[in-house]
Amino acid sequence: MPSKLSLLSLFLISLELQLLTSSIAKPATFVQDFHVTWSESHIKQFDNGTAIQLLLDQNSGCGFASKYKYLFGRVSMKIKLVPGDSAGTVTAFYMSSESNESRDELDFEFLGNRTGQPYTVQTNVFASGKGEREQRVNLWFDPSREFHDYSIFWSKRQIIFSVDDIPIRVYKNNAARGVPYPLSQPMGIYSTLWEADNWATRGGLEKIDWTKAPFNAYYKDFDIEGCTAAGQAECGRASNNWWDGPTYQQLDQVQARKYRWVRVNHMVYDYCTDRSRFPVPPPECLAGI
């Protein structure tokens, strides 16, 4: 039979673990951690709220957002994108502080295509209101046939956009070079399905074919591991959060190899090499992996 001392020790350990994880959220259902922000009639829930469908037609697109904002961590969703002729549509999954001129934002934007053409994913990073850091990658699979995992990792050192745990974009903290980096503003999690045929597919040359409507995207397995805004004072300094650990300070060798493979074989646009927009490369572009 355990002694009173050992029982007390177990209680203290349990209490400590609860305190360490009190700012961690791991959603179980859509209703629990998200809410509809736009056109509720165009979002349907399935499987007891663990999966949803977004719909776009000529009347409206739709969107949803997390009930809380987070500072650092990792958020992921499994998404099955709009199938068939999806030109002119955009399915977006992003984080944003929604602070107007000074907003921080981390974007996944899935740009619809004509049937048979590659699906393009555009990523962008806004920090202190400054964006214009677009990169585009053609996905190496058809993302409308099955669910795939899309995640955003955000720490004080780096931001990583991943597809099925393969890094497709790394944005490091280059504050020392005078480059803004999202460090202090909690961000909510958002997703939308909307019409953007003025720019989304081939720069707006391909328009939406409304005879193919409605357009549907599907989501499941929502997962958030991050500090809520209420706990940001603790998250902003050195802590025991897993994303601050040495393992997550940079890509490991396997991740770095996958990242190079994506950049060599599947990247179709990088603002860092666009001399028409940036005759002098932005300073963060010189940092490499």
Compute the 3-state secondary structure of the chain and give helix, strand, coil in percent, each to the nearest 5. 25, 35, 40
* CB neighbourhood size of 16 (10 A): 11
Classify the phi-psi angles of 203: left when phi > 0, otherwise alpha if psi is within -120 to 50, otherwise beta: left
Q: Per the residue annotation, which of 16, 101, 105, 206 is the catalytic one?
A: 105
List, in sequence order, every beta strand (DSSP E) within the chain: 34-38, 43-46, 51-56, 62-66, 70-80, 89-96, 105-111, 120-126, 135-138, 148-154, 158-163, 166-172, 188-195, 215-228, 267-270
Residues with Cβ < 8 Å from 88, sequence gap 6 or more? Answer: 112, 195, 196, 197, 200, 201, 206, 207, 208, 209
Task: Tell me, yes or no, if 109 is annotated catalytic.
Answer: yes
Catalytic residue among 16, 98, 109, 206: 109
Q: Which residues are catalytic?
A: 105, 109
